[in-house]
Amino acid sequence: MGSADHQRAHLTSRPKLPSRTDVPSDARVLVLLAHPALHRSRVNGPLARAARAVPGVTVHDLYESYPDHDVDVPHEQALLLAHDVVVLQHPFYWYSTPSLVKEWIDQVLLFGWAYGPNGNALMGKTWIHAFSTGGPAEAYGPEGHNRFTLRQLLAPLEQTAKLCGMRFLPPFAIHGSLRLDTAAIAEAASRYQALLTALREGLRPRDDSHERTEVVTHWEAP
């Protein structure tokens, strides 16, 4: 191809700036992806790609949508209303989520909408975390060097979901993610897909058995 042709090909396939995630009419599972440097990610990047491949799942990349942390509140609320399940997918950072998730919570879960009088927009929906940790499973617990369990560390988030009348499912965790090889990451991605498919189909872990479950790593049909 001559250089002129090459240029023309370039022009016709002109890239567009990504716009906000569309609000779909039929999907039920919303993945809120929060990774501040996805281009460096070894685990969450492949996981997000896997999630996008599951039909009926909306993947919404928060750091791509709000690079300046300026969250579009009405848009986020519309997305929430259009889904039944909210999956917060992120790397575990400093025993919590990356900072934009906190900003997102502060801005979007408004008084009178998500909680408080008449604040029942999210009532009955499901909240679940899907995260990768650097540390191995044994590091989390009274005996481990991180001293607390993951559920204990997630307490503020769990209570946030509860206050909004949402059901908080045990988090889906990928442990020791820094040392996973490519095959292990691919395997984790397919486990993640299984989880999303089940959530999409409205399957939930039985409440009583999961109330105290620490984390889930494999999806088991109830």
Partner 1 sequence: MSEGEKIFTHALVYLGAALVVVPVARRLGLGSVLGYLVGGVLIGPYVLDLVGDAGTDVLHFAEFGVVMMIFLVGLELEPERLWRLRGTLLGLGGAQVGGSAVAVGSLAMVAGLPPIQAATVGLIAAMSSTAIAVQQLSEKGWMKSDAGQRAFAVLLFQDLAVIPMLALFPWMAGATEDGGHGSAHPLATLGAVAAVVVLGRLGVPPLMRAVASSGLRELFTAAALALVIGVTVLMGLVGLSPALGAFLAGVVLANSEYRHELESDIEPFKGLLLGLFFLSVGAGIDFAAVAANPFAVFGALVAVLAVKGLVLFGLGRAAGMARDQALILGVSLAQVGEFAFLLLGFTSALGLLPAAVVAPLMAVTALSMAAGPLLVTVAERWILPRWVATRTTREHDVEDEGAQVIVAGYGRFGQIAARLLRATGHRVTLLDVDNEQIEIMKRFGARVFYGDAGRLDLLRAAGAERARVLLVAVDDPAKALEIVRVARTHFPDLALLVRARGRVDAMELVATGVEGAYRETMDSALRAGTDALRLLGMPAHQAERMARTFRRHDERAMRDLAALRHDTGALQATARERIRLLEQVLADDASTTVPDDGWDADAIRTGQNRIT
Question: CB of 114: closest distance to ligand FMN in angstroms?
Answer: 27
Bridge partners of 48, per DSSP, are none
Among 21, 44, 58, 97, binds ligand FMN (CB under 6 A): 44
Is 86 in a helix, a strand, or coil?
strand
Go through 190-205 and write b for each residue having 16 or more CB atoms within 10 A of its CB, e for each that does not. ebbbebbbbbbeeeeb
Torsion angle, alpha carbons of 120, 168, 190, 75, to 10: 30
Give the footprint of partner 1 on this chain (CB under 8 A): 15-18, 36-40, 42, 63-65, 67-68, 91, 93-94, 133-136, 139, 145, 178-179
Contacts of 175 (CB under 8 A, 6+ apart): 132, 133, 135, 136, 137, 217
- Looking at the Cβ atoms of 179 and 206, the one nearer to partner 1 is 179
Alpha helices, H only, the chain: 3-12, 44-52, 62-65, 73-81, 99-108, 150-153, 155-163, 182-200, 207-210
Bridge partners of 168, per DSSP, are 127
- Position of minimal CB gap to ligand FMN: 134
Binding positions for ligand FMN, 80-139, rule CB under 6 A? 91-95, 132-135
Question: CB of 208: closest distance to partner 1 in angstroms?
Answer: 33
- Looking at the Cβ atoms of 115 and 131, the one nearer to ligand FMN is 131
Among 177, 189, 196, 205, binds ligand FMN (CB under 6 A): 177
Question: CB of 136: closest distance to ligand FMN in angstroms?
Answer: 9
Bridge partners of 61, per DSSP, are 33
- Looking at the Cβ atoms of 138 and 207, the one nearer to ligand FMN is 138
The site that binds ligand FMN (CB under 6 A) totals a number of residues, namely 16
- Looking at the Cβ atoms of 65 and 126, the one nearer to partner 1 is 65
Question: CB of 43: closest distance to partner 1 in angstroms?
Answer: 9
